[in-house]
Amino acid sequence: MVVFGISGSGKSTILKLVSGLIRPESGRVIVNGQDMTDASESEWQHIRPKIGFVFQGGALFDSMTVGENVGYYLLEHTDKSLVEIEAVVRETLRFMNLSEDLIDLLPDSLSGGMQRRVAIGRAVAAVDPLIMLYDEPTTGLDPISTRAITEMILKLRDVKKVSSIVVTHEIADAFEVTDHFVVLHDGEIVFDGHGAEMLKCPNPHVREFLTPFLDSVRALPQA
């Protein structure tokens, strides 16, 4: 599912609610069929290992190597040996279509697209996710890197059966990922449905958000 909306509409707040980083003032939070609205921190600790979070921009530790970033959670929170962690890291890099040769490099030596894939790999290696949460995963990337990220989101769905919630402003990229869209305005859902329905939705807030995208599509040369 992709969540759209202008800045400040509540998109990132949804991700924080789903991951238990903040608590709702009203309503319910249901994660994987479990009501987590009033859950204690210890209860959240049981379900968070099934939730991967990819922060805006990747948020890698710039003083750590790629391998240390990907293996960070395993090193800090499990009793796995360094040999076992390295094996997981290398397997994760291969799954992310990244060379194992990157393992000893620092993040700032990588392209933006590679950094985002490393960040996704860190989330996948840290937990065994049923759910992945993405906050603006393709913002600022070139078309080739963007394609690599969208393909990775779909690969996780198809190979590991991971559900995803993607927060983004990039409408064209979103259509590559899903056909289920939610549009927020001022913390309220103003649309929930398929892409074709969204493009025809008369709601003024939906129209306002989509207008720049629709104008750019109309400006393309017609076959």
Digit-coded pLDDT (tens) for 115-160 = 999 999 998 887 778 999 999 998 888 889 899 999 999 999 999 9
Closest CA to 18 of 7, 1, 8, 6: 1
- Whole-number average pLDDT of the chain: 88
- Counting residues of the chain whose pLDDT is more than 70, the rounded percentage is 96
pLDDT at residue 215, as a whole number: 65
Residue 218 confidence class, pLDDT cut points 50, 70, 90: low
Residue 98 counted as domain residue: no
Verdict on whether the full-model pTM lies above 0.75: yes
Structural domain containing residue 175 = 2-64+130-219
Residue 94 counted as domain residue: no
pLDDT at 217 over 60: no
Residue 112 counted as domain residue: no
pLDDT at residue 216, as a whole number: 59
Distance CA 83, CA 194 (A): 46
pLDDT at residue 57, as a whole number: 72
Closest CA to 123 of 63, 196, 174, 74: 74
Distance CA 157, CA 133 (A): 12
Q: Can you give the CATH number for the domain in which 196 is found?
A: 3.40.50.300
pLDDT tens-digit readout, 12-67? 899 999 999 999 999 999 998 899 999 998 899 888 888 988 887 778 898 999 99
Residue 18 counted as domain residue: yes
Residue 110 counted as domain residue: no
Distances (CA, A) of 95 to 15, 26, 130, 160, 163: 25, 39, 17, 11, 17
pLDDT tens-digit readout, 59-111? 889 899 999 999 998 888 888 999 999 999 999 999 999 999 999 999 999 98
Residue 152 counted as domain residue: yes
Residue 220 confidence class, pLDDT cut points 50, 70, 90: very low
pLDDT at residue 49, as a whole number: 82
Residue 88 counted as domain residue: no
**Under 8 Å between Cβ of 71 and 61:** no
Residue 204 counted as domain residue: yes
The number of domains in the chain is 1
Closest CA to 119 of 142, 144, 145, 87: 145
